[in-house]
Amino acid sequence: MSSFLDPTAELAPESRIPLPRRESLVGLKVGFLDISKPRGNIFIARLDELLTQAGAIPRHYAKPTFTRIAPVELKQQIATECDVVIEALAD
Amino acid sequence: MRHYVLVVKEDCETCRMIQPVAAALASSTELRIFSQDNPGFPGDLPDGFTIEDDRELANSFELKIEIVPTLICYDDAQESERLEGWDRSAWERVCAQNFSASLPAFRPGCGSKSQDPGMAEKLAVKYGSQQLKARRVNIADGEDEVEACYDRGWSDGLPLVPPTEIRVVRMLQGTLRAADDIVGDVPPDYAPCSIEKIAINAVMAGCKPEYLPVVIAAVEAALMDEFCMHGLLATTYFSGPMVLVNGPLSRAIGMNSRGNALGQGNRANATIGRALQLVIRNVGGGRPGGVDRSALGNPGKYTFCFAEDETGSCWESYAEERGFSREASTVSLFAADGVQGIVDQKSRTPESLSRSFAAGLRVVSHPKMVMAADAFLVISPEHERVFRDAGWSKARLKAELHDLLQIPGSELIVGAGGISEGLPEKLKGQMLPKFREGGLNIVRAGGSAGLFSAIIAGWGASGKIGSVPVTREIL
């Protein structure tokens, strides 16, 4: 038996269990993350309208630029202020 | 307390010649003899003397033997003297005795078997002088090695050179950097990337060890924040990293800057660019269909690497424009799409030819888009000659192109030309430059025949919003 050296970062794949589904939208704090791409705002506005009608509480956030990952502070803010988050990728 | 170690091989004429010397030392001194190829050699030793079998070369490796015969003298367990080959007066001095007058005054030895081609790396692996930390991936007997690399998801689609330990050890000889030195975190997983991981991917890409410093510099450049490798990988746009190499190292390793410079056929060009992409794929975890969301991609995402033709150019090189000396070797990265040709076989004045260039550059991304994508203009020798003969500097050409690429807003706004794509109506009365400040770069490359140049368009998110070209010196 021969062996190779692993060219990857050796991040062992883990099976991840999805979070349980929410039973109700009423009172749910929903974060909308606009990544700052064109027309993302249109998508978010429509979802905001629908989810608000269903009793959810919307909160809005935006990345400074779509080309970079969200700043840590923004991720922490969303994590502390929201129950769920919806990201508008636009494309 | 003095004792001696003698390392020999029967296949060496000098070793055979000194057999009487070995016998004399064996009977009169504290001596160990290691034989690299025949544990029965040398002959005629005193009864009861045991030759130590070093056919596995463990002792030769440990003792760092380069030549046989080698005589090492130890005083109180410390090496005090080492003699390689036969030098009669030196041997007599070190051994404090006289040897047969029939022996010559001097005779060079032979290469140690531990120095046979490829053997040094094998012994380094076998006896553990090179501590590699990467996880070992076992390949079952009967498993095809190339298929095994595909099966594990390491390939860009083309066959890989299997990254065996010995190949990686050889690759690491191309750098003085420590194998466990971390160059940074590679997106999109932001996984720490060691020199060893770069070497493993360079092996798979097909690099020679002498290319490794270029690959390392390219990875470091890709990790510079302003290059925005994460966004470049994740974008739906076409782009990927283009690698431009400047300086003497590009010539020393045989990179192609002339005919077919942007094409196939040169090992260094092909494998350096590929190694960078494999690092992004395997260490960073960036894969098509995963974080790589490109709608179409471009063929350069397999590999896109070339050298600038500096020696034949009348202009300063791209690296010199960036503040590096002509003697420095550098790697520059640009977030690039594919190649778009510019054909102009009739212009013989710089005024006419620069208008051709401007007309071609106008359509980068979209004829109605401005200050979005950067571009590299790759000018071939026959086109450069037009500017050379007229005395135009590179700066002059850039300035002329800047002027030629001022576009009336009325041609760019939404609806102009019957095209919905376009700028807001409010910009109708303005003149707008096609490229942002510093967004158009010029290099020279290509074969000696052909009145063609090339545009390499950049990512639509060029500049501070996304990616700017970066340069690093190769150390």
Q: Over the stretch B254-289, which tens digit does the pLDDT of each residue have?
A: 999 999 999 999 999 999 999 999 999 999 999 999
Residues B419-475 have pLDDT tens digits of 999 999 999 999 999 999 999 999 999 999 999 999 999 999 999 889 999 999 999
pLDDT band for B363, please (50, 70, 90 cuts).
very high
Alpha-carbon distance B335 to B313, whole Å? 24
- Asked if the ipTM is above 0.85, the reply is no
Q: Coil, helix or strand for B81?
A: strand
Identify the pLDDT of residue A86: 92
Q: How many CB pairs under 8 A join A and B?
A: 90
Question: What is chain B's mean pLDDT, rounded?
Answer: 96
pLDDT band for B191, please (50, 70, 90 cuts).
very high
Nearest to B201 among A1, A2, A7 (CB): A7
- C-alpha distance from A57 to closest chain B C-alpha (Å): 30
The answer, yes or no, to whether residue A14 has pLDDT greater than 60, is no
Q: Which of residues 16-75 of A touch B (CB under 8 A)?
A: 65-69
Side chain identity at residue A66, one-letter code: F
Please judge whether B193 and A9 are an interchain contact, meaning their C-beta atoms are less than 8 angstroms apart. Answer: yes
What's the rounded mean pLDDT across residues B296-314? 96
Closest to B463 in 3D by CA, of B378, B371, B377, B399: B371
Cβ atoms of A30 and A84 within 8 Å: the answer is yes
Residues B167-176 have pLDDT tens digits of 999 999 999 9
Nearest to B282 among A3, A8, A65 (CB): A8
What's the rounded mean pLDDT across residues B375-403? 97
The answer, yes or no, to whether residue B183 has pLDDT greater than 70, is yes
Contacts of B394 (CB under 8 A, 6+ apart): B315, B316, B321, B442
- CA-nearest residue to A63 within chain B is B465
- CA-nearest residue to B233 within chain A is A67
Identify the pLDDT of residue B129: 61
pLDDT band for A15, please (50, 70, 90 cuts).
very low
Is residue B237 less than 8 Å (CB to CB) from chain A? no
pLDDT band for A16, please (50, 70, 90 cuts).
low
Cβ atoms of A83 and A23 within 8 Å: the answer is no
Q: Please give the span between the terminal C-alpha atoms of chain A, in angstroms, as a whole number.
A: 47
List helix spans (H) across B7-70: 13-17, 19-28, 58-62
- CA-nearest residue to B194 within chain A is A9
The answer, yes or no, to whether residue A19 has pLDDT greater than 90, is no
What's the sign of the alpha-carbon dihedral B31, B33, B39, B44?
A: negative
Residues B9-57 have pLDDT tens digits of 999 999 999 999 999 999 999 999 999 999 999 999 999 999 999 999 9
The answer, yes or no, to whether residue B140 has pLDDT greater than 90, is no
- B340-343 own/partner pairs: CB under 8 Å, 24+ apart: B340/B364, B340/B454, B340/B455, B340/B456, B340/B457, B341/B452, B341/B453, B341/B454, B341/B455, B342/B452, B342/B453, B342/B454, B342/B455, B343/B451, B343/B452
Domains and CATH numbers, chain B: 2-114 (3.40.30.10), 225-473 (no CATH)
DSSP character at residue B225: G
The answer, yes or no, to whether residue A90 has pLDDT greater than 80, is no
- CA-nearest residue to A65 within chain B is B465
Cβ atoms of A59 and A32 within 8 Å: the answer is yes
Identify the pLDDT of residue B125: 83
Lowest mean pLDDT among A7-16, A45-54, A69-78, B406-415: A7-16
